[in-house]
Amino acid sequence: AVANIGVVGLAVMGSNLARNLASREGNTVAVFNRSRDKTDLLVSEHPEAEFVPAYSYEEFAATLAKPRTAIIMVKAGAATDAVITALTEVFEPGDIIVDGGNALFTDTIRREKAVRETGINFVGAGISGGEEGALTGPSIMPGGPDESWVTLGPILRSIAAVAPDGEPCVTHVGHDGAGHFVKMVHNGIEYADMQLIAEAYDLIRRGTGKTPAEIADVFAEWNTGELESYLIEITAEVLRQVDAATGQPLVDVILDQAGAKGTGAWTVQTALSLGVPVSGIAEATFARSLSSRPDQRAAGAALPGPDEEFEVADADAFIEDVRQALFASKIVAYSQGFDEIRAGAEQYGWSIDLAAISKIWRAGCIIRAQFLNRIADAYGEAPDQPLLMAAPYFADALSRGQAAWRRVVVAAAQAGIPSPAFSSSLAYYDGIRAERLPAALVQGQRDFFGAHTYKRIDKPGTFHTLWSGDRTEVEAEDTH
Ligand code: NBP
């Protein structure tokens, strides 16, 4: 037994993670892949790395020092289950199995429960940052039992991305599926952030007539201020790219149908069942779906839009309005995402430190940004605050930006430019700050057709109006 850590599954993610592990002082890495060729290729291409190749699960277990620790990086779903079963047969109580793939958190909860029966520790770890992150330093979101963290913590800290203040981007998120849950919401927030940036680009382009290269300069400028983030940075790069074949901006020759691998949908489905409004994430996910329905879009193209041309009087002022609308909408999207994490923690019994989550997203992952320090500050100062966007820094930004945000949403609506994430975020903002909501009328309607009852603002109890009788009010059983 010579290796302190092992990796099972040596496709692109697993081999990069294995190389990252091997490059850190003190690690000797056992590597195993179902088919032998990937193992041999990794070992022969990287003679500099201290790999111990294994060609069977038995051999893999034998090369690992106890407690054995293995990270699985195989296809999510049945492949992951197959590898877990094989490892539980050759591992012993106290050993640690980590699933680093993109598992759905409910699968992780199920697997943790089953593996726990054997005395082996199972850890579902969300690993963000793609191929590049796996190699150079990802943001890592591990769940699993506390016992596993003693061994696993130092190993994961050694390979994680490092935030600007020197802290590694990994924390023990919570038990069983907590890590994969947080990774899922991270991806949902990523969807919202990307859609908001795309809407900002579209509005500027159609409102000012600027070229993609000119808009790249706008984003590069924004990247020096409060919007500074990896996604803004790469947006400028994409917009500046010229297609070699046609000489056109690349963004003009890319088919406008956005794909998705499903984590945005998981985030929204989970939010729906938890009763958490994540409208920014939902609109971003639906916007991708809408874009990818060419048959419907072809049919829809016949529908009329506004009569007047969209003309912006002052391009610079409009661009500044869009910047403020983007920042305000981004605050809403993150506030909603963190609400989902809090609701998930309550539902599944996890103790999740929201400030710590914000900090481990500061490097290594797609939504990395300065902005996350502000979220960490807000939750650091008041961990139980009910609404992130009402924390002083964000409330101040929203109060400065809301007039511009409204102007942009109005302009988009009048111009017939779709801005689902901008406008739904504004609607959420106005909903959450409303003194009174028309939910009262909805309760009246529900009571009318279904005797669903309602509560009153002026006295305790549950009431029902006898709608089909004499329309007097009676006290009722609470049937909410
Ligand atoms: P893939 O998702 O393409 O999976 C290929 C690997 O799974 C190969 O090593 C393959 O072995 C192995 N495998 C399969 Br398929 N069935 C198996 C089985 N029954 N038993 C054992 N091994 C099996 O690899 P990837 O693209 O490197 O991704 C790995 C994980 O990382 C996935 O869960 C993915 O969702 C996640 N991922 C995350 C990010 C990110 O940014 N966080 C990016 C990309 C992927 P073989 O060589 O013998 O066929």
- Write the burial class of residue 206 (CB in 10 Å: 0-12 exposed, 13-18 middle, 19+ buried): middle
**Residue 288 assigned as binding residue:** yes
The closest-lying atom of ligand 1 relative to the alpha carbon of residue 74 is 7
d(CA 385, CA 382): 6
pLDDT higher than threshold 60 for residue 480: no
Q: Please choose, from the candidates 422, 380, 386, 417, the residue with its C-alpha nearest in 3D space to the C-alpha of residue 401.
A: 422
Ligand 1 centroid–CA 467 distance in Å is 59
How many other CB atoms are found less than 10 A from the CB of residue 67? 19
The closest-lying atom of ligand 1 relative to the alpha carbon of residue 76 is 33
**Residue 191 assigned as binding residue:** yes
Q: Please choose, from the candidates 26, 24, 9, 20, the residue with its C-alpha nearest in 3D space to the C-alpha of residue 71.
A: 9
Enumerate the β-bridge partners of residue 5.
29
pLDDT higher than threshold 80 for residue 251: yes
Question: What's the whole-number mean pLDDT along residues 321-327?
Answer: 98
- The whole-number pLDDT of residue 409 equals 98
Enumerate the β-bridge partners of residue 249.
242
Kindly give the residue spans of alpha helices, DSSP state H, lying in 349-470.
354-360, 371-381, 392-415, 420-433, 439-450
- Whether the CB-CB separation of 267 and 279 falls below 8 Å is answered with no
pTM score:
0.97
Query: Residue 466: CB partners within 8 Å, gap ≥ 6?
Result: 472, 473, 474
The DSSP bridge pattern shows strands 121-128 and 96-99 to be parallel
- The whole-number pLDDT of residue 308 equals 85
Residue nearest to atom 47 of ligand 1 (CA): 35
- The whole-number pLDDT of residue 320 equals 98
Secondary element (H or E) of residue 338:
helix 315-348
Which residue is it, tokens 């969300």? 126
Ligand 1 centroid–CA 72 distance in Å is 9
Mutate to test the pocket of ligand 1, among 10, 15, 20, 34 (most ligand atoms within 8 A of CB): 34
pLDDT higher than threshold 90 for residue 1: no
92-109 pLDDT tens trace: 999 999 999 999 999 999
**Coil, strand or helix: which one is 206?**
helix
Q: Is the CB of 158 under 6 A from ligand 1?
A: no
pLDDT higher than threshold 70 for residue 479: no
Evaluate whether ipTM surpasses 0.90. yes
pLDDT higher than threshold 90 for residue 65: yes
Enumerate helices (H) and strands (E) in the chain, giving the number of each: 20, 9
Question: What's the whole-number mean pLDDT along residues 61-89?
Answer: 97
- Whether the CB-CB separation of 169 and 362 falls below 8 Å is answered with yes
Q: Is the CB of 196 under 6 A from ligand 1?
A: no
Q: Is the CB of 138 under 6 A from ligand 1?
A: no
Question: What's the whole-number mean pLDDT along residues 306-317?
Answer: 92
Q: Please choose, from the candidates 331, 333, 237, the residue with its C-alpha nearest in 3D space to the C-alpha of residue 278.
A: 333
Q: Is the CB of 73 under 6 A from ligand 1?
A: yes
- Whether the CB-CB separation of 28 and 4 falls below 8 Å is answered with yes
Q: Is the CB of 127 under 6 A from ligand 1?
A: yes
Question: What's the whole-number mean pLDDT along residues 134-153?
Answer: 96
Residue nearest to atom 41 of ligand 1 (CA): 130
Q: Please choose, from the candidates 39, 38, 19, 37, the residue with its C-alpha nearest in 3D space to the C-alpha of residue 29.
A: 19
280-294 pLDDT tens trace: 999 999 999 999 999
Whole-angstrom CA distances from 220 to 76, 98, 231, 240, 423 are: 36, 39, 11, 10, 24
- HSE-up of 388 (CA within 13 Å, CB side)? 27
Q: Please choose, from the candidates 429, 452, 59, the residue with its C-alpha nearest in 3D space to the C-alpha of residue 280.
A: 429
**Residue 128 assigned as binding residue:** yes
371-381 pLDDT tens trace: 999 999 999 99
Share of the chain above pLDDT 70, in %: 99
Catalytic residues, by residue number, are 183, 190
d(CA 187, CA 103): 13
pLDDT higher than threshold 90 for residue 311: no
**Residue 41 assigned as binding residue:** no
DSSP calls for 116-181: HTTT-EEEEEEEESHHHHHHH--EEEE-S-HHHHHHHHHHHHHHS-B-TTS-BSB----STTHHHH
- The whole-number pLDDT of residue 347 equals 98
